[in-house]
Structure 1
Amino acid sequence: MFQLRELPYNKNEFSGFLSEEAFEYHYGKHHQTYVNNLNNLIKGTEFENATLGEIILKSKGGIFNNAAQVYNHNFYWDCISPKETKLSDELSNAINAAFGSLEAFKEAFITSSTTLFGSGWNWLVYDVKNKKLEIVQTSNAATPATESKVPLLVVDVWEHAYYIDHRNARPAYLEAFWKHINWNFVSEAYEWAVKEGINSFHFYTK
């Protein structure tokens, strides 16, 4: 049985970005519902004792949608921090090589996040095949790991992620998100992606 993972911070630590009310709905209701749905859907199936990562890579339909949304949300909560953090030198160098500078990456990432139509997620990933960083949009529950791309950073652009605090102003939410990126986590994700490839996804989803 999967459980709603604990947040690595308090729900009232993100003033100006996400309110405690937003966490109550997004984490306490939406995320919890995906966990509950997944547990109900896998009962009596080949996935009953599988890891989250195995379910994501092998399932389809409702099981995939709920498993992927559990993972996507887990990863999103790890990607934000109430305190300022810094990139590792290795990640900084990789971003500079791929995008020219951190500012250029910010512009490209926020533009991609803003222009994603409808509901979905915007990611920074490490492509295992070409060993490069890329920005990837996914719709609904889709996640880049199914394409052998290891997630490093994600922002949730489903409207329920930001409507309580920012109404329909997705760009305002994204600017606030940028100030709260947990670069320590993203840097570690990059380090493991380079070392272990897609196995780092499996390690995260055990």
Structure 2
Amino acid sequence: MSFTLPPLPYPKDAFGDLISPETFDYHHGKHHNAYVVKANELVAADPALQGKSLVELIELAATNGPRGLFNQVGQIWNHSFYWRGLSPQKKQPTGPLLDLITQAFGSVDGLIDTLKAEAVGHFGSGWAALNLKDGKLEVTSYHDADTPVAHGAAPLFIFDVWEHAYYVDYRNARPDYADKILRNAIDWDFVALNLDGLGLTRADQIPGG
């Protein structure tokens, strides 16, 4: 029993110029899939790891290693959550989520500006994230394959700032990528759903499940 590459929740051509089918071919079909393949190899080689969910392996590897396993399973979870947080149709936050955004950032634009600054200012590869902490919204970032799963966070949204996420469409212009995606392609319905504190489960996998 092994982990699988989750299908995209939308067609590869759904985002027009924001994210090209070629980017999805490489980012989802090559990079994300490579993490799945490598994680399965590592788990198959160690009976003590077998039968555990993706989240369980992340939590185990975060405290006890091995780091190689952490990198693979962390990236599977991060990418799975990232895909679900995107929408080809522009949406707007409403209800309790909008209230929390207004309280923490003054406006939706204020939140987007904060997320963009975190994403653009993050040195090297990693992820910008919106989490729920003590009932309030918090923007942070994670290096390389690090993930909110390893920090007990309640994740709402995660944004990929590895170069492979944007180089095909935006070359080295991370600010342009961040601005266009964050302003036009966040699935605010998915973000709001994760206010229930169950965001970790929405990108989890049980091997063979």
TM over 0.5: yes
Q: Which residue of 2 aligns with 1:62?
A: 68
From 109, 112, 116, the equivalent of 1:110 is: 116
1:169 CA drift (Å) = 0.4
Distance 1:36 1:131 in 2: 37
1:131 CA drift (Å) = 2.6
Q: Which residue of 1 aligns with 2:42?
A: 41
The answer to whether the Cα contact below 8 Å between 2:13 and 2:21 also exists between their aligned partners in 1 is yes
1:78 CA drift (Å) = 0.4
Are 1:173 and 2:177 counterparts?
yes
Q: Which residue of 2 aligns with 1:159?
A: 163
Runs of 5+ in structure 1 lacking a partner? 194-198
1:26-79 per-residue CA deviation (whole Å, 9 max, x = no partner) reads 000000000000000011332211011101111121111100000000000001
Runs of 5+ in structure 2 lacking a partner? none
Whichever residue aligns with residue 24 of structure 1, its letter is D
Whichever residue aligns with residue 163 of structure 1, its letter is Y
1:200 CA drift (Å) = 4.5
Distance 1:168 1:132 in 2: 33
Distance 2:151 2:9 in 1: 28
- Secondary structure of the residue aligned to 2:13 is coil
Runs of 4+ in 1 over 4 A off after TM superposition: none
Q: Which residue of 2 aligns with 1:184?
A: 189
TM-score if structure 1 supplies the norm length? 0.92
1:85 CA drift (Å) = 2.1
Are 1:9 and 2:40 counterparts?
no
1:175 CA drift (Å) = 1.5
The answer to whether the Cα contact below 8 Å between 1:17 and 1:177 also exists between their aligned partners in 2 is yes
The answer to whether the Cα contact below 8 Å between 2:126 and 2:141 also exists between their aligned partners in 1 is yes
Higher RCO (Cα < 8 Å, 6 or more apart): 2
Q: Over the residues paired in the alignment, what is the CA RMSD in angstroms? A: 1.3
- Secondary structure of the residue aligned to 1:146 is helix
Distance 2:36 2:76 in 1: 6
1:150 CA drift (Å) = 1.3
1:147-184 per-residue CA deviation (whole Å, 9 max, x = no partner) reads 22111111100001000000000011012212011111
Q: Which residue of 2 aligns with 1:74?
A: 80
Whichever residue aligns with residue 110 of structure 2, its letter is A
Are 1:147 and 2:151 counterparts?
yes
TM-score if structure 2 supplies the norm length? 0.91
